[in-house]
Chain A
Amino acid sequence: GENVEQHPSTLSVQEGDSAVIKCTYSDSASNYFPWYKQELGKRPQLIIDIRSNVGEKKDQRIAVTLNKTAKHFSLHITETQPEDSAVYFCAASPPDKLIFGTGTRLQVFP
């Protein structure tokens, strides 16, 4: 079955710097790769997603890249703000479910 690895587990950056989180997946049948942000005690919220027919997608300060050959995808957050502090999860979707990574706790210091 699908296995998703996510790194780093924690990431601390200064406000205004960039943050990069990386994930790898194992199942070549996976074709959808969402990123979720989860604040403490809250539900996961989708922030950006990418499908396997696209290599890169950007939405304001957030971008995701996908390398199908290497089976890895990354989240890039530019100009980080304190409100970006949260746990971020990547996921890969073989048909009919999401397999999540173990999460990255991002702390943005003012």
Chain B
Amino acid sequence: GAGVSQTPSNKVTEKGKYVELRCDPISGHTALYWYRQSLGQGPEFLIYFQGTGAADDSGLPNDRFFAVRPEGSVSTLKIQRTERGDSAVYLCASSLNNAVIGEQYFGPGTRLTVT
């Protein structure tokens, strides 16, 4: 079946602009995660959704970052007033159910470049 998909695959934006990154999880997966991966580093946790609600947003770096999952499926990560330091690959992952922690399936990522 279809895996986790993310759009766009690449996004180049100017400093100060607003961007939205989209994640389509595997059908039926209730848990959805956003991570950020900088060059040469491991993925860094940003936010976790269980269903429609953000169960843990402790990884969001500041209030310029926000994410939603209004219908418990697709999620959008929103970044306001982008800065050059926001440049990274943004990874989305989903898992079947977080009641018992299990495999997280990653999407291909969105490479964000802020110029």
Contacts and interface: CB of A to CB of B under 8 A. Distances in A.
Interface residues of B, number: 25
A100 B42 CA distance: 6
A44 B106 CA distance: 6
Contacts, number: 53
B40 A103 contact: yes
Label chain A's interface by main secondary structure: loop
A101 B109 CA distance: 19
Contacts of A96: 48, 50, 55-56, 98, 101
Nearest to B50: A96
Interface of B: 33, 35, 40-45, 48, 50, 55-56, 58-59, 91, 98, 101-109
Contacts of A42: 108
Nearest to B55: A96
Interface residues of A, number: 24
B66 to A, nearest CB: 18
A98 B41 contact: no
B103 A97 contact: no
